[in-house]
Structure 1
Amino acid sequence: MAAMNWRQRIGAFIGGFDAGQHHRRLRGFRATRAHVNALIAASGPDITARARWLVRNNGYAVNAVESWAANTAGDGIKPISKIADPVRKEELQRLWLAWTDEADAEGLTDFYGLQRRAAREVFIAGEVFFRIRPRRGEDGLRVPLQLQMLPAEMLPLEQSGVAANGNTIRQGIEFDRIGRRVAYHVLRRHPGDSTDPGLAGEVVRVPASEIIHVIDPVEGGQLRGVSKLAPAIVKLFLLDQYDDAELDRKKVAAMYAMFVTSPAPENPLAPPEDEAGDAGYEVSPGQIVHLDPGEDVTVGQPADSGGTYEPFQYRTLLQISAALGIPYPYLANDMVKGNFSNSRLALIEFRRRVSAWQHSVMVYQLCRPVYARWMDAAVLSGALSLPDYEANRPLLLTADWLPTKWDWVDPLKDANAEIAQIEAGLKSRTQAIAERGYDAEQVDREIAAEHARERALGLDFRRPGSPAQGATAVPGENADNDATNSDDADDTAENRPREDEDQP
């Protein structure tokens, strides 16, 4: 049996996957078998620090982060309640909108601004934490609840061991005996903020019900996040150095430098040097310079970067773009190299990735938990009245989360295509409106109100030939025209021969 197993292993090595071989081409390729948690524990702080440095100092890095945040969060991913009662739904939506301005415990932005900041942090550090802060009634909030954003550094990776209650602490997260997260061990002050007078290194235990951990894990069992900049950090840093070297080269090349060679440097007849040690030669336009016998002038000619600079930059930025998952035009702000077709393909692919991240990370991990805690606090505080809330809570919490609408690449063609889909029954108006980030019921109410106002003022802004022109007239409106049209119709009917008269 042992001999057969050995032969199977030998056969697998000889005729198996080339990627598993150890021949000359892969001799230096020694990949670690450590789990991602061990790798993050060893390298996570350095990766996060380098990512933050690049975002502060590298134009491509900050552009990638801002592009990601603008596309994933935009103006905000907003809820549309599924409550059937329109009055209670309107009351809930108004209260939610009012609370979003009070959501940030720091008072720097609203709830949708916190979404954008969360998207930036997840891109830079791989994760972000929000602490739910219940407030008192005398604090004057519409709903006594706020959110405090905590960066990844506030949860120390080295915080591991066994708690006093027997639970396991791994990288700052406390787990019970069946693997559920029960608490987070958070620093009271940022470890790198020397301006905070708090005690450095002091940790507080916060129940897991009060912490929201936003993370996009890349491997099973992953506990903490990894920066999305990690695969591109080395190339971004080296490309930055290369660019600096080329700038210095150009700076030297732009200087008009001359060198005077003399066979007798100790010649007493040479021009006196100034205080800086220069010989005193100055060149002006049209000047004729007389040199001493034997002296020669050489003009400096530093090497140019040549024609390889632009292709090298472009190819390196393409690799960085692929590593970050950001389209090249969004990374480099270069719209010259792409035509309409390939730019549209790249945009569609990018939007699919963004849409998947929005629903699987932002909505699931941040928006839904906040919405649930907000509604609980609103009902308990009396700010919102929902009968039988406890019994019907799962149903009342149901909502559609609508991201910011995508801008059309070709507005006329895209709009016509969507109208054709609606008319063919391939999608509904409700779905089309929801994809733009709006509530169909609210849009319909606004359209009805506008039409009523136009009729009252005798206005009609509908485009001739549009579907709205074929709408049923309001009874009593334009009675004279209706009567005239009716008489014309009667005359036409009288003059029109009957079908049986036309029959042979």
Structure 2
Amino acid sequence: MSRAPKVPEPTLLDKAITWLSPERGAKRMHARLTMTALGGYSGASKSKRTLSAWTPTAGSAAADLLPDLPTLRERCRDLERNNPIGGGAINTVTTKTVGTGLALKSVVNRSILGWDEDQAREWQRKTESLFKSWAETTSCDITREQNFYGLQDLTWRSVLSSGDVFTLLTHKEQPGQHYSACIQLIEADRVCNPSNKADTEALTAGIERDADGAPIKAHILRSHPGALGVKDRVWDDRPFFNERGGRVLLHVYRRRRVGQPRGVPYLAPVIEKLKQLDRYTDAELEAAVVSAFFAVFIKPGQGGNPRLHHC
């Protein structure tokens, strides 16, 4: 059994129109009753004063994100550097998510390989030992600055502050090192359209995709666009998959919508609130400092009457 729609309350304008022209007033109320019956969600109302000025656009994931993404990155990074709440939030999430880093725990399906338990255990021990000899040294980092666990921390921190980060699995022969395999982290700003070309269905925010939306290759600037002393802008093309179909370029980010091409910084929804809170805190601290300069004391005046003095 359907429930009859609730009759909308007439506004002051409705009452005025009804007083001047009862016929027009009746038509207006009939139209409002029809709209109430058709729409079941009050959040979609366009007649309420609190919602009438709220007219968001219905763009795609790329259209809603990409025009604002550079500004979001810049402001989120500034909050991470200079805002104690923003920086603390990113530090806390990174620490609780990554911790000391993810370690390898080798487990093989010995029934498929036809191994007995001793063979499987020995292979797992050797594999974990070889992995540790690579992961616990700086050989795994192309810059030779961090070990594998430090790279995990930096990767997730970059995702939170910039929205995404790219990880290139490559090889580099280094003197005195047993392994050539290494990881190169690429900051989000370096992946962009060559020569500032406009985004298309095939090329979006520096990433080329096939007709199904799968990534094919990324266009990577050789240096950061904000680097000092760099005049020439040169792009390198890096495929996401090698000839055998193995993944060689990872795009690390959190997808929140279907068709979202790039990641959104973690602090993006609270940028305005954090900045307002920052300004409010600064104003309160300045007021406290100014008031600390003033001291009030009492000393006897003429006739023995106390007088208040301040400095």
TM-score by length of 1: 0.47
1:418 matched to which residue of 2? none
Whether 1:117 and 2:151 are equivalent positions in the alignment is: no
Secondary structure of 1:214's counterpart equals strand
Q: What residue ranges of structure 2 are gaps of 5+ in the alignment?
A: 1-30, 111-119, 242-247
Letter in 1 for 2:62: N
1:149 matched to which residue of 2? 185
Residue 177 of structure 1: how far off its partner (Å): 3.8
1:241 matched to which residue of 2? 279
Q: Is the 8 A contact 1:123 1:228 kept in 2?
A: yes
1:180 matched to which residue of 2? 214
Q: Distance in 2 between matches of 1:25 and 1:13?
A: 20
1:64 matched to which residue of 2? 89
Residue 298 of structure 1: how far off its partner (Å): 6.7
Q: Superposition pairs for residues 415-454 of structure 1, below 5 Å?
A: none
Deviations 1:248-302 (A, max 9, x none): 11111111268xxxxxxxxxxxxxxxxxxxxxxxxxx887688xxxxx98748xx
Deviations 1:99-139 (A, max 9, x none): 11221111221111111111111111111111222123x64
Whether 1:19 and 2:43 are equivalent positions in the alignment is: yes
Residue 201 of structure 1: how far off its partner (Å): 2.7
Give the counterpart of 1:41 among 66, 83, 91. Answer: 66
Q: Distance in 1 between matches of 2:259 and 2:240?
A: 18
Deviations 1:398-423 (A, max 9, x none): xxxxxxxxxxxxxxxxxxxxxxxxxx
Q: Superposition pairs for residues 8-407 of structure 1, below 5 Å?
A: 10=34, 14-23=38-47, 24-83=49-108, 84=110, 85-100=120-135, 101=137, 102-136=139-173, 139-156=175-192, 159-160=197-198, 168-194=202-228, 197-209=229-241, 210-256=248-294, 299=310
Letter in 2 for 1:107: R
Deviations 1:187-222 (A, max 9, x none): 11101121xx54443211111133211010111110
Are the structure 2 counterparts of residues 140 and 168 from structure 1 closer, same or farther at C-alpha, using a change threshold of 3 Å?
farther
Q: Is the 8 A contact 1:173 1:181 kept in 2?
A: yes
Q: Distance in 2 between matches of 1:227 and 1:175?
A: 23
Q: What residue ranges of structure 1 are gaps of 5+ in the alignment?
A: 1-6, 259-284, 291-295, 301-504
Are the structure 2 counterparts of residues 17 and 141 from structure 1 closer, same or farther at C-alpha, using a change threshold of 3 Å?
same
Q: Larger helix proportion, structure 1 or 2?
A: 1
Q: Is the 8 A contact 2:172 2:181 kept in 1?
A: yes
Secondary structure of 1:128's counterpart equals strand
Q: Is the 8 A contact 1:135 1:145 kept in 2?
A: yes
1:412 matched to which residue of 2? none
Q: Is the 8 A contact 1:159 1:171 kept in 2?
A: no
Letter in 1 for 2:236: V
Letter in 1 for 2:239: P
Secondary structure of 2:66's counterpart equals helix
Residue 168 of structure 1: how far off its partner (Å): 2.1
Q: Distance in 2 between matches of 1:193 and 1:86?
A: 50
Secondary structure of 1:25's counterpart equals coil
Q: CA RMSD in A?
A: 2.7
Residue 174 of structure 1: how far off its partner (Å): 0.8
Q: Distance in 2 between matches of 1:159 and 1:94?
A: 47
Secondary structure of 1:26's counterpart equals coil
Q: Distance in 2 between matches of 1:177 and 1:22?
A: 38
1:346 matched to which residue of 2? none
Are the structure 2 counterparts of residues 161 and 56 from structure 1 closer, same or farther at C-alpha, using a change threshold of 3 Å?
closer
Q: Larger strand proportion, structure 1 or 2?
A: 2
Residue 36 of structure 1: how far off its partner (Å): 2.5
Q: Is the 8 A contact 1:13 1:20 kept in 2?
A: no
TM-score by length of 2: 0.74
Are the structure 2 counterparts of residues 161 and 59 from structure 1 closer, same or farther at C-alpha, using a change threshold of 3 Å?
closer
Q: Distance in 2 between matches of 1:151 and 1:31?
A: 31
Q: Is the 8 A contact 1:189 1:200 kept in 2?
A: no
Q: Is the 8 A contact 2:192 2:207 kept in 1?
A: no
Q: Distance in 1 between matches of 2:128 and 2:214?
A: 34
Q: Distance in 1 between matches of 2:254 and 2:156?
A: 11
Letter in 2 for 1:207: P
Residue 17 of structure 1: how far off its partner (Å): 1.1
Letter in 2 for 1:247: L
Q: Is the 8 A contact 1:73 1:116 kept in 2?
A: yes
Deviations 1:412-444 (A, max 9, x none): xxxxxxxxxxxxxxxxxxxxxxxxxxxxxxxxx
Q: Is the 8 A contact 2:217 2:237 kept in 1?
A: yes
Residue 156 of structure 1: how far off its partner (Å): 2.2
Q: Distance in 2 between matches of 1:219 and 1:12?
A: 31
Q: Distance in 1 between matches of 2:80 and 2:37?
A: 45
Letter in 1 for 2:41: F
